[in-house]
Amino acid sequence: MKLRFNRSQLCIPYALFLILFVIAPLLVIIYYAFSNGQGKFTFDNFIGFFSSTNTLGTLLYSFALAIVTTLLCLFIAYPTAYFLARSGFKKQYVLLMLFILPMWINFTLRITALKEVLTLLEGNISLHPFLNSVIGMTYDFLPFMILPLYTSFLKLDKNLLEAAADLGANKFIVFLRVTLPLSIPGIISGITMVLLPSMTNYVVLDMLYNSTYIMGSLIGSYFSAYDWNNGSMISLVLLVIIFIVTLVTNRFGDKDSDARRTVL
Amino acid sequence: MKKFKKFVCIGAASLLLLSSLSLTACSGGQKEFVLRVASWEEYIDLGDWDDDELIEIDNPYDEEAGGVIGVNSMVEDFTDWFNSSDYGFDIRVEYSTFGTNEDLYNRLSLGDKYDLVCPSDYLIMKLLAEDELVAYSDEFLDAEADNNYYAQNVSPFIDGVFEENGWQNYAACYMWGTTGIIYNPETVSSDNAATWDILQNEKYNRRVTIKDNVRDSYFPALGILNKEELLSDGLTAERRNELLNDTDQDTVDAAERILKGIKENVYSFETDSGKADMITGKVAANYQWSGDGVYIMDEADGDENNPTELWYSVPDECTNLWFDGWVMLKDGIAGDKNKQIAAEAFVNFLSRPDNAIRNMYYIGYTSSIAGDMVYDYLDYNYGAVFNPDDEYFDDEMTEVCQYDLSYFFGGDVSLYVDASQLEIPDDAETISQTLGSEYGNDINYTVYTTDDISRGRQAFAQYPPQSVIARSVVMVDFGDRLHDINQMWINVRCLDIKDFNPAIVWTVVAVVVAITAAIILYRFRYKIFYRTPKEDK
């Protein structure tokens, strides 16, 4: 008997994985989020989340941290990726390698090293917890911003730039009207890859001695305090936020420019 | 039907693979009992000592070694010892570790099975209240029987505390200690280190650390809150106990305010990094457990580039007396008599004085085991009066303190400790005494006989004097107040939206709204800004 599989059968391993490690845990989270310690259905956790000034403060703090990190990443990554994609062929891969290289080392090790560097620069690192956290997260997530931007710049058709220049646009206008709009898919995917993880990456904060909780540490502290219901509710709220953000951004992509052409 | 066949094929293949894997895992273990032990990380001798680490004291359990030394790990030694004894069956030890009591408890409630675990006092109480523990057998508690090292050697002090709290039948103490402040006397004055106030003392702004867990934060907060009453004369032990086990909501709220202030003053809430930060001098003072304190002082002394003399202070208000004890779990033992025998043998083996010393040396904590051999070890480490021919002998050192350890060892036991290693009150009584005649040398020493010592170095941290024990309190399990106290702790660590600068709040909200609006506008820009082209219709 020949063993031949069709496509749907090849998907079975992944489907099993999905059911076991994504869907089942999600159901468990939903169950815990809407039940109390005795296993009875309740909305208390949900109401508790939005009525506690502490959780709202944490949400706000996480957003502030994540937004500042994302903006800083974008600010550094955009010109870097631009010049990386534009530079001569040979140098390009070496340069790209330099940015990807740190990703091969575990991030806790990198943050430990960063801690020493920051101590050297600032003296006492606990005096600037917010700044340090932003630096640590930026250090951690920068490659995730550079790579999508880099690929979107690589795909950029040079003929378009030349055409724009031929039609009399100066360099600034070319950038503003051609390069920037065409790199938006890269920006969006960079933002989603940095903004959401940096709301929960509390290990960086712990290691850099920021004693204020963000969403990730809040969930962790509820779970280690045996309070799985509130922990699950916060996870669920975070999940909904992530879901909304991806829903809004997921259709950005290559089709976008095509759509524009048909519209115009 | 064909599809179904393929499916069966894959299923059968994977089943075969799985079962063969599990078969190899099981084979060879038919007559072997597995003892599942869980303890703290870095809490047992892992062996592999250098030859010069040999502790040169009489060792009746291993005459050939010429002292105490850890060659193999403790767990290996136990397995060899057990399997070569006449218990009638062989065992294998599965040793795993946990990081916090909460971690252990979570794992137990998720269904992990262990036979023997080593939680702290309050978790022992919690497990006891939940009826999870197996009582030790009468044979184990019988001090007359052979190999019953725990019953034979446990300190009367530990035995007393365990009996007082009703744990003695269910828990066998492993290590114990106090909590206090490790500080650098060059930057922190002794007066400042003498109180829990140091945690909120702005003089040391961002240069003190505190533990990142609710119990070790709540305790000093209570110390600060009740400072006046704790320091007043005529405070009874009952009242002290009551004050430091107070979990009323008003007290919890007050502690929350204190801890919020402390949060703004400390360098970090640390779980483990405090040790390194203290040794490297990043911080000046550090809330610490006595055992880790000993480790920190040892490391700072031995730092080749920058040797620092650090001290350990037990604040004048109070200290948290804590114990870690071995308990057997009903879920794991499951009524298996042999398992219980093996678990009890494990505790006994760790309590054999030479092994207790090995563990103490390796981890820095204080063992619950007393007896002559442990006293010899103390004398070897901290005794100031010894043979003048010894290479470490210092003839300048003529001031010693007669350090009273009767409470721990029972009877009338004291040790002459170098007085410069302890902070001796100015008005302490002294006598002039000739000591060292047993070494054939009579040296005239100034001997302090006080017990009123609250700060000192390794000897003090490892074996606190009676006066420190007198102001120590066992912090019991929070019981049904746990939830509210945990919530208090989370509140401390979270930023309260009410405490924010309103300008920042509105800026962040505005940015979030602006970004969301921009994305939505961009996403639906064709629908909003462009007219649908007519050709399409």
pLDDT along chain A (264 residues), means of 10: 76 91 93 88 89 90 92 94 80 79 87 92 90 94 91 88 89 88 88 88 91 92 88 92 78 48 39
Q: A54 and B490 in contact by Cβ < 8 A?
A: yes
Alpha-carbon B287 to chain mean position? 12
- What is the SS3 assignment for chain A? CCCCCCHHHHCHHHHHHHHHHHHHHHHHHHHHHCECCCCCECCHHHHHHHHCHHHHHHHHHHHHHHHHHHHHHHHHHHHHHHHHHHCCHHHHHHHHHHHHHHHHCCHHHHHHHHHHHHHHHHCCHHHCHHHHHHHHHHHHHHHHHHHHHHHHHHCCCHHHHHHHHHCCCCHHHHHHHHHHHHHHHHHHHHHHHHHCHHHHCHHHHHHCCCCCCCHHHHHHHHHHCCCHHHHHHHHHHHHHHHHHHHHHHCCCCHHHHHHHHHHC
- Taking CA–CA distances from B510, the nearest residue in chain A reads A64
Rounded to a whole number, what is the distance in Å from the CA of B38 to chain A's nearest CA? Answer: 18
Q: Which amino acid type is present at position A190?
A: G
Mean pLDDT, residues B124-149 taken together: 92
Closest CA relative to residue B462, chosen from B297, B263, B249: B297
Domain annotation covers residue B153? yes
Q: Are strands B399-404 and B414-418 parallel, antiparallel or unpaired?
A: antiparallel
Of A12, A209, A263, the CB nearest to B526: A263
Per-residue pLDDT, averaged over B360-368, amounts to 93
* Mean pLDDT along residues B497-521: 82
Q: State the Cα–Cα distance between residues A225 and B486, nearest whole angstrom.
A: 6
Closest residue of B to A226, CA-based? B106
- The minimal CB distance from A213 to the residues B6, B207, B493 is found for B493
Q: What's the whole-number average pLDDT of chain B?
A: 88
Same domain (yes/no): B194, B280: yes
Residues in B touching A61 (Cβ below 8 Å): 495
Task: State the SS3 of B84-134.
Answer: HCCCCCEEEEEEEEECCHHHHHHHHHCCCCCCEECCEHHHHHHHHHCCCEE
- CA–CA dist A42, A30 (Å, integer): 12
- Measured CA to CA, the distance from residue B175 to residue B355 in angstroms comes to 13
> Quick check: is B18 in a domain?
no
Distance in Å, alpha carbon of A213 to nearest chain B alpha carbon = 5
d(CA B135, CA B137): 6
The pLDDT, as a whole number, for residue B28 is 42
B516: which 2 tokens? 């969301």
In this structure, are B400 and B477 located in the same domain?
no
Q: Which residues contact residue B217 at a Cβ distance below 8 angstroms, ignoring those fewer than 6 apart?
A: B210, B211, B259, B262, B269, B489, B492
Cβ A221–B493 below 8 Å, yes or no?
A: yes
- Within 64-123 of A, beta carbons closer than 8 Å to B belong to 64, 67, 119
DSSP code of residue B481: G
For B32-67, the three-class secondary structure string (H helix, E strand, C coil) is EEEEEEEEECCCCCCCCCCHHHCECCCCCCCHHHCC
A240 close to B (CB below 8 A): no
The token duo for B11 is 């299923």
Q: What residues in A contact B482, CB-CB < 8 Å?
A: 225-226
Residue A16 touches chain B, beta carbons under 8 Å: no
Q: Taking CB atoms and an 8 Å limit, are A225 and B533 in contact across chains?
A: no
Whether residue B250 sits in one domain with residue B195: yes
**Maximum average pLDDT range among A189-198, B163-172, B500-509, B522-531:** B163-172
Distance from the Cα of B418 to chain A's closest Cα (Å) equals: 36
Question: Is a pLDDT exceeding 90 seen at residue B189?
Answer: yes
Q: CA geometry: angle at A216 spanning A215 and A222, to 5°? A: 90
> What is the Cα–Cα distance from B461 to B134, expressed in whole angstroms?
33
Residues in A closer than 8 angstroms to B267, CB to CB, are 124, 126, 209
- Identity of the residue in B9, B106, B493 whose CB atom sits nearest the CB atom of A211: B493
Coil, helix or strand at residue B464: coil
For residue B49, give the CATH number of its domain. 3.40.190.10
Lookup: tokens for A33: 């989020």
Buried b (16+ CB within 10 A) or exposed e, A154-172: eebeeeebeebeeeebeee
Per residue in B79-104, pLDDT (tens digit) is 999 999 988 899 999 999 999 999 99
- Per-residue confidence band for B373, with pLDDT thresholds at 50, 70 and 90: very high
Contacts across the A-B interface (CB distance below 8 Å): 110
Which chain A residue's Cα is nearest to B499? A57
The residue from B430, B456, B482 where one domain ends is B456
Are B314 and B209 in a shared domain? yes
What's the token pair of residue B116? 């023997």
Interface of A with B in 21-60 (CB under 8 A): 53-58, 60
State residue B30's pLDDT score.
47
Angle (nearest 5°) at CA A179 between A174 and A185: 160
Say whether both B189 and B315 belong to one domain: yes
Beta strand B285-289 pairing with B179-183:
antiparallel
Q: Give the tokens for residue A158.
A: 């040079």
Q: What is the pLDDT of residues B385-420, one digit of tens each?
A: 877 777 777 777 788 999 999 999 998 999 999 999
* C-alpha distances in Å from residue B250, one per residue of A156, B255, B257, B260: 65, 9, 11, 15
Reported as a single tens digit per residue, the pLDDT across B222-231 is 999 999 999 9
d(Cα B193, Cα B460) in Å, to the nearest integer?
A: 15
Using the beta-carbon criterion (under 8 Å), do A212 and B533 form an inter-chain contact?
Answer: no
Which residue of chain A comes nearest to B495, CA vs CA?
A57
Q: Which of B9, B491, B495 sits opposite A3 (nearest CB)?
A: B9
- Shortest CA distance from B211: residue in chain A: A211
Beta-sheet pairing, B430-435 with B443-448: antiparallel
Residues B313 and B333 in one domain: no
Amino acid at B519: I
- CA dist B10 and A256 (Å) reads 43
Of B59, B519, B177, the closest CA to residue A248 belongs to: B519
Backbone angles phi, psi at B387, to 5 degrees: -60, 125
Residue B528: per-residue pLDDT: 66
B154 falls in which pLDDT band (50, 70, 90)?
very high
Between A87 and B159, whose confidence is greater? Answer: B159
Residues of A in contact with B207 (CB under 8 A): 124
A127 to chain B, any CB pair closer than 8 A? The answer is yes
φ/ψ bin of B332: left (φ > 0), alpha (ψ from -120 to 50), beta (otherwise):
alpha
Question: Are the C-beta atoms of B177 and B235 separated by less than 8 Å?
Answer: no
- Residues B285-304 have pLDDT tens digits of 999 999 999 999 999 998 88
- B342 has a pLDDT exceeding 60: yes
Chain A: give the shortest CA distance to residue B486, in Å: 6
- In this structure, the answer to whether residues B268 and B137 fall within a common structural domain is no
Give B522's contacts in chain A (Cβ within 8 Å). Answer: 184
Please report residues of A whose CB lies closer than 8 A to that of B505. 60
Domain identity same for B144 and B41: yes
What angle do the packed helices A215-224 and A228-249 form, to 10 degrees? 150
User: What is the rounded CA–CA span in Å between residue A78 and residue A191?
Assistant: 12
Model-level pTM?
A: 0.86
A54-212, superfamily in CATH?
MetI-like (1.10.3720.10)
B89 and B148 part of one domain: yes
Read off the pLDDT of each residue in B234-259 and give the average, rounded to a whole number: 94
Q: Which residue of B has its CA nearest to A244?
A: B516
More confident residue, A73 or B168: A73
> What gap in Å lies between CA A234 and CA B280, rounded to an integer?
38
Residue B8: which pLDDT band, with cuts at 50, 70 and 90?
very low
**CA distance, residue B488 to nearest chain A CA (Å):** 11
Per DSSP, the three-state class of B198 is helix
| List of chain A residues whose C-beta atoms are within 8 Å of the C-beta of residue B496 | 53-54, 57
pLDDT at B14: 52
A256 has a chain B CB within 8 A of its CB = no
Domain count of chain B? Answer: 4
pLDDT for the residue B433: 85
Question: What's the ipTM?
Answer: 0.85
Q: Beta strand pairing status for B208-211 and B285-289?
A: parallel
Pairwise CB contact (< 8 Å): A211 & B266: yes
Whether the Cβ atoms of residue B29 and residue B54 lie closer than 8 Å to each other: no
Reply yes or no on whether the pLDDT at B21 is more than 80.
Answer: no
When CB atoms are compared, the residue of A58, A207, A225 closest to B494 is A58
Structure tokens at B313: 């202070």
Query: What does the DSSP assignment read for B291-350?
Result: HHHHHHHHHHHH-SSS----EEE--SS-EE-EEEEEEEEHHHHTT-HHHHHHHHHHHHHH
- Looking at chain A, which residue has its C-alpha nearest residue B283? A124
Nearest Cα neighbor of B311 from B470, B472, B189, B176 is: B189
What's the pLDDT at B219? 96
State the Cα torsion B265-B269-B270-B273 to the nearest 10°.
-40
Q: Which domain holds residue B183?
A: 179-320+473-493
Separation between Cα atoms, residue B442 and residue B81, nearest integer Å: 44
- Which among A1, A57, A259 is the nearest to B496, CB-wise? A57
Q: How many residues does chain B have?
A: 537
Neighbours of B476 (CB within 10 A): 15
Phi, psi of A260 (to 5 degrees): -60, -40
Specify if B17 maps to a domain. Answer: no
d(CA A141, CA B502): 29
CB within 8 Å: A224 and B106: yes
Nearest Cβ partner for A54 among B496, B504, B511: B496
Answer whether A9 touches B (CB < 8 Å). yes
Of B456, B483, B507, the last residue of a domain is: B456
**Residue A171 distance to chain B (closest CA, Å):** 25
d(CA A176, CA B342) in angstroms, rounded, equals 76
Q: Does A255 touch chain B (CB under 8 A)?
A: no
Give the residue among B289, B242, B283, B285 at the shortest CA–CA distance from B101: B289
Q: Is residue B75 part of a domain?
A: yes
Q: How far is CA B496 from CA A58, B66, B83, B107, B489, in A?
A: 7, 61, 59, 31, 13
Summarize the confidence of residues B367-386 as an average pLDDT: 91
